Amino acid sequence: MSKIATAFGINKALIALGVQDMNNGTSTGLSFFSSGEIIESYSPVDGALIAKVKTTTKADYEKVMASASAAFISWQKKPAPQRGEIIRQFGEKLRELKEPLGKLVSYEMGKSYQEGLGEVQEMIDICDFAVGLSRQLHGLTMHSERPGHRMYEQYHSLGIVGIISAFNFPVAVWAWNTALAWICGDVCIWKPSEKTPLCGIACQNIIAEVLQENNLPEGISCLINGDYRVGEMMTRDNRIPLVSATGSISMGKVVAQAVAARLGKSLLELGGNNAIIVTPDADIKMTVIGAVFGAVGTAGQRCTSTRRLIIHESIYDTVKDALVTAYKQLRIGNPLDENNHVGPLIDPDAVVLYKKALEKVVMEGGQLIVEGGVLKGEGYESGCYVRPAIAEAKNNFEIVQHETFAPILYLLKYSGTLENAITIQNGVAQGLSSAIMTNNLREAEYFLSTAGSDCGIANVNIGTSGAEIGGAFGGEKETGGGRESGSDAWKIYMRRQTNTINYTSELPLAQGIKFDL
């Protein structure tokens, strides 16, 4: 165990989560050990080896599928409020383990400890939401055109839900999906990112304890580990009616094609290229706070991170100067130390992409006003710490059109009306999150109108990141069109059925069709 891990209680956290013996390999399920290759999980915080995890083979996968299929038969028959009680207990376990799980998220992924705690809180929140939802899985009742007939629709459990999650939210996104899927009577198979496998095992241990305490089959929650090849087992499997995948646009296109080829359903949460529009009526102080957190929070590795700041020319220099001043105050270092604002990128490969993006924006004609760079020396031994950067650019730059998972903020200038700013904002392939900073009611309402933001999330006077679980989360265009978390996102985890009941002794046909025998 490294000095940082020891100093910040990581070993105690691993013991509390039941993953303290990971160095000799670990189970990918609840009742058997996998027999595949080894994944080594290194912390971007200090470069230390946290765990060695065995990957799932095809034979292992078939055992998981058999376990999940058997569990679905009984789980779907359990009344939804009873399923809700299990989720309530899971939420209580998360409350008890919030601190150790938050530390593991911070240490294995690299986000700040406060963000790690916040991610676990999201898990707790979605459990609370799901418990309430367990008594509200309602359909509609409508009037039939035929006398003596009643017509309504209802929702039934879908089956096995496959979940593929990304490293940047190694526990919360799984919970968004699985809490709702469980409430709906589904069982889940989860492939966490191969970059954060220990977080997945910790979560599996927590729900496994709940299932065991309630004498429920372990197949309700299954875990598989590995790279894209393991994910392909799910995307190509006809036994899995829904695959929920979070990750890059390129990954999402592969998943969508594979699932569509077998006429399955996919729920896609893909890349973002999020912008904040700053109008002349903006509160500059609020703008700076929202933009800085959006750009550097999680070291710019959120799908909702702020990538572009579209500023009116009349206040451009004022906002730019305020941002430069704010960036000078950022503290970069060990994310477990709550005095720091910015932690590391996930791994050296992410650092390479960060450096290439900075080179690219300059090559295309942009100007760095807050230069980046890789930090070296004491405290930065992992090689994954970088300085957040700001570049003046144009929206049509190729690098600006693409998402770079790193703390790089592009400043874009607009002139004239708000419509011009919205054209710039919407002028990218992605459509996840967006925001406007203004105290002008007309501007705010226009931004939210059908002619305004084309994103799945549109905010006024807050940043692009930090969504609450009560609303549906997702985006349009190449972001994939999926919706997770709150509102009526639960419906994708169920199959819809229309029912018509004839309670007369006659058999009239719809549309007045005559068929006499």
pLDDT at 31: 35
Q: Would 291 be classed as within a structural domain?
A: yes
Distance CA 225, CA 122 (A): 23
In this prediction, residue 2 carries a pLDDT of 84
For residues 257-262, average pLDDT: 98
Residue-level pLDDT at 448? 98
199 and 302 both lie in a single domain:
no
Q: Is 303 a catalytic residue?
A: yes
In this prediction the pTM is 0.95
- Classify burial at 314, counting beta carbons within 10 Å of its beta carbon; exposed 0-12, middle 13-18, buried 19 or more: exposed
pLDDT digits (tens, 9 = 90+) for 231-251: 999 999 999 999 999 999 999
The label of the residue with tokens 């009306």 reads 417
- What mean pLDDT comes out for the span 481-500? 97
pLDDT class of 116 with cuts at 50, 70, 90: very high
Q: Tell me how far apart the alpha carbons of residues 389 and 485 are, in angstroms, rounded to a whole number.
A: 32
Q: How confident is the model at residue 29 (pLDDT cuts 50, 70, 90)?
A: very low
Residues 278, 265, single domain; the answer is no
Residue 421 has what pLDDT?
98
Residue 84 in domain: yes
Q: How many CB atoms are located within 10 Å of the residue 173 CB?
A: 29
The phi and psi torsions of 242 (rounded to 5 degrees) equal: -135, 130
Closest of 30, 73, 69, 70 to residue 211, by C-alpha: 30
Domain range holding 443? Answer: 274-476
Among 199, 203, 222, 303, which one carries the catalytic annotation? 303
pLDDT of res. 466: 86
Q: What CATH number should be reported for the domain holding residue 12? A: 3.40.605.10
Residue 153 lies in a domain: yes
Q: What is the CATH number of the domain that holds 342?
A: 3.40.309.10
- Among this protein's residues, is 203 annotated catalytic? no
Angle made by CA atoms 378, 382, 384, in degrees to the nearest 5: 110
Same structural domain, 336 and 254: no
Asked if the structure places residue 300 within a domain, the reply is yes
Our count of domains for the chain comes to 2
Options 115, 269, 443, 484, the catalytic residue: 269
Report helix angle 80-96 to 172-183, nearest 10. 160
Which one is predicted more confidently, 59 or 31? 59
The tens digit of pLDDT for each residue in 336-371 reads 999 999 999 999 999 999 999 999 999 999 999 999
In a domain, 517, yes or no: no
Q: How confident is the model at residue 20 (pLDDT cuts 50, 70, 90)?
A: confident
Domain identity same for 285 and 315: yes
Within this chain, do residues 205 and 353 fall inside the same structural domain, yes or no?
no
> Span 266-282, mean pLDDT?
98
Question: Are residue 123 and residue 144 in the same domain, yes or no?
Answer: yes
Q: What is the largest CA-CA distance in the chain?
A: 90
Query: Of all residues in the chain, what percent carry a pLDDT higher than 70?
Result: 97
- Residues of the chain by 3-state class (helix, strand, coil), percent to 5: 40, 20, 40
Say yes or no: 331 and 348 in one domain: yes
Q: What is the pLDDT of residue 395?
A: 98
Once rounded to an integer, what is the mean pLDDT over residues 91-113?
Answer: 98
Whether residue 513 lies inside any domain: the answer is: no
Question: Quick one: three-class SS letters along 88-146?
Answer: HHHHHHHHHCHHHHHHHHHHHHCCCHHHHHHHHHHHHHHHHHHHHHCCCCCCCEEECCC
Summary mean pLDDT of the chain: 95
Check pLDDT > 60 for residue 471. Answer: yes
> Is 503 among the domain residues?
no
Residue 24 has pLDDT above 70, yes or no: no
Residue 27 has pLDDT above 50, yes or no: no
Using the structure block, give the residue that is written with the tokens 């226009």.
446
- Looking at the structure, tell me whether residues 399 and 426 fall in a common domain: yes
By the 8 A CB rule, do 343 and 45 touch? yes
- Are residues 255 and 290 both part of a single domain? no
506 part of a folded domain: no
Instruction: Flag whether pLDDT at 133 surpasses 60.
Output: yes
19-33, 83-97, 184-198, 472-486: least confident range: 19-33
pLDDT in tens, 373-390: 999 999 999 999 999 999
pLDDT band at residue 26 under the 50/70/90 scheme = very low
The pLDDT value given to residue 516: 81
Residue 1 pLDDT class (50, 70, 90 cuts): low
The answer, yes or no, to whether residue 252 has pLDDT greater than 60, is: yes
For 293, the token pair is: 């957190």
pLDDT band at residue 467 under the 50/70/90 scheme = confident
Which range among 22-31, 97-106, 130-139, 416-425 shows the weakest confidence by mean pLDDT? 22-31
Q: Where are the beta strands (DSSP E) in 352-414?
A: 367-370, 389-392, 408-414
Do 235 and 278 belong to one domain?
no
Same domain, 409 and 372: yes
Q: Inform me whether the pLDDT recorded for 303 exceeds 60.
A: yes
Looking at residue 517, its pLDDT comes to 80
Q: Which pLDDT score, from 0 to 100, does residue 30 have?
A: 37
* Interior angle at CA 317, CA 279 and CA 401, nearest 5: 65
Do 388 and 404 lie in one domain? The reply is yes
